[in-house]
Structure 1
Amino acid sequence: MHELGIVFHIIDSIEEVGRQNKLRRVSTVTLELGEVSGVVHTYLEDCWHWAAARSQLLNGSRLAIEALPAVTLCEDCGSTYATVEHGKTCPFCQSPRTHLVSGNEINIKEIEAC
């Protein structure tokens, strides 16, 4: 379960920002989570609750997740398309020369302090 490692990294980052900004408590952390990031939302949320409870800054905080759609670019025709729906083959020209341009990210979007 790599979700726990991801949560530890996120919490470490937020605690550093908290120290720099003299935050006392965080109420909500909003993450942008790519559709093909390989992260299981429910596991991430479970890990968040467990790990955040051990942080003075984050104890009781809420994790909000915003899904980012996976988008692939076709190198031959220049079209972009929904990755999950069509996979690695371009639905417009049938080219296999494609690459993912978004949808595998895990970003901290917003930290709400109280």
Structure 2
Amino acid sequence: MHELGIAFYIIKVVERVAEDNKVTSVSKVSLELGEVSGVIPKELADCWKWAVKKKELMKDAELLIEKITALTYCESCENIYETVQHGRICPHCGSERTYLVQGNEINLKEIVAC
């Protein structure tokens, strides 16, 4: 379960940002999660709830997860299409000359201090 490791990593980043900005309490963290990142949002949320209880700075801080749709670009016909729905082969021209342009990232979007 790598979601627990990701939750701990996010907590470390938030702690670093809080220290740099003299923040004493965090109530909410927003995360952008690519739909093909390999992270299961429900599992990450469960790990987050467990992990933040151990941190005074973030005790009971909410984790908001926004999905980033996976998109693929076709070099042959220059179309962009939804990756999950169509896979690696372009639905417009049938080409395999494609690559993922978004949807595998994990971005820390916002930290709400109180």
TM norm structure 2 = 0.98
Show structure 1 runs of 5+ residues with no match: none
* Distance in structure 1 (CA, Å) of the matches to 2:111 and 2:104: 21
Give CA-to-partner distance per residue, 1:53-112, whole Å, 9 cap, x none.
111111110000000000000011111000000000001110011110000111110100
Residue matched to 1:42: 42
> What one-letter code is carried by the residue in structure 2 that aligns with 1:51?
A
Shift of 1:5: 0.6
Q: What is the aligned partner in structure 2 of residue 107 from structure 1?
A: 107
Alignment size in residue pairs: 114
RMSD of the alignment, in Å? 0.6
* Residue identity (%): 55
Cα deviation 1:22-60 (Å, max 9, x = unaligned)? 101111100000011111111101100111111111111
Unpaired runs of at least 5, structure 2 = none
- Moved segments of 4+, more than 2 Å: none
Aligned equivalents of 1:82, 1:42: Cα separation in 2:
22
CA distance in 2, matches of 1:97, 1:58: 45
